[in-house]
Amino acid sequence: MSDPYLLHTPENVVVQYQLAGVGSRFLAAAIDALIQGTLIILILLAVSAAGGVALASGALRDMGGLGASRVGIWLVALLLLVNFLLLWGYYVAFELLWDGQTPGKRAIGLRVLRDSGHPLGFLDSLIRNLLRLVDFLPLYYGIGVLTMLIDARWRRLGDLAAGTIVVKERSDLRATDLLAGDYAAPDDAAGPAVLGAERLTDREYALLREYLLRRAGLGDGPRAALAGELVAMVAARLKLEAPSEPAEAEALLKRVAATYRAYHAARWPEPAGG
**Pick the residue with more confidence: 63 or 181?**
63
Domain boundary residue, one of 118, 145, 168: 168
Q: Per mean pLDDT, which range of 49-63, 109-123, 172-186 is the poorest?
A: 172-186
Residues contacting 74, CB < 8 A, separation 6+: none
Whether residue 273 is contained in a domain is answered as: no
Q: Are both 251 and 224 inside the same structural domain?
A: yes
Poorest-pLDDT segment among 116-120, 190-194, 259-263:
190-194
Q: Are residues 116 and 180 in the same domain?
A: no
Whether residue 75 lies inside any domain: the answer is: yes
- C-alpha distance across the termini of the chain, in Å: 33
Identify whether residues 11 and 114 lie together within a single domain: yes
Same domain, 215 and 179: yes
Residue 268 inside a domain? The answer is: no
Q: Choose the final residue of a domain: 146, 168, 190.
A: 168
Task: Evaluate if residue 182 carries a pLDDT over 60.
Answer: no
Tell me whether residue 258 is in a domain: yes
Name the strand (E) or helix (H) holding 28: helix 22-57
Is the same domain home to 163 and 195?
Answer: no
0.75 cut: is pTM over it? no
Domain that holds residue 98: 4-168
Examine the fold and report which residue of 116, 141, 168 is the final residue of a domain before the chain moves on. 168
What does the pLDDT average to over 222-245? 85
Statement to judge: residues 132 and 255 lie in one domain: no
Q: pLDDT at position 157, please? A: 92
Report pLDDT for 126. 92
**Whether residue 203 has pLDDT greater than 90:** no
Q: Which residue has the higher pLDDT, 185 or 152?
A: 152
- The band of 107, judged by pLDDT with boundaries at 50, 70 and 90, is very high
Q: pLDDT band at residue 85, thresholds of 50, 70 and 90?
A: confident
- The pLDDT > 70 percentage for the chain reads 73
Question: Is there a domain that residue 272 lies in?
Answer: no
Does the pLDDT of residue 127 top 90, yes or no?
A: yes
Residues 108 and 132 in one domain: yes
Same domain, 19 and 121: yes
State the chain's mean pLDDT as an integer. Answer: 76
What is d(CA 264, CA 259) in angstroms, rounded to the nearest whole number?
Answer: 9
Classify residue 269: in a domain, yes or no: no
Q: In this structure, are 22 and 87 located in the same domain?
A: yes
CA 81/CA 77 separation, integer angstroms: 6
Specify whether 225 is located in the same domain as 161: no
The secondary structure of 193-245 as a DSSP string is --TTGGGS-HHHHHHHHHHHHHGGGS-HHHHHHHHHHHHHHHHHHHT-PPPSS
In this prediction, residue 183 carries a pLDDT of: 39
How would residue 265 be classed by pLDDT, with cut points 50, 70 and 90? low
Cα torsion angle, 90, 96, 99, 100, sign:
positive
Mean pLDDT of 241-259: 85
29 within some domain: yes
User: Tens digits of per-residue pLDDT, 3-58?
Assistant: 567 665 554 555 677 889 888 999 999 999 999 889 888 888 877 776 665 555 55
Q: Residue 271 falls within a domain, yes or no? A: no
Q: Please state the domain count of the chain.
A: 2
Q: Is the pLDDT of residue 166 over 90?
A: yes
Measure the CA–CA gap between 234 and 205, rounded to whole angstroms.
9
Same domain, 211 and 149: no
120 with 206, same domain: the answer is: no
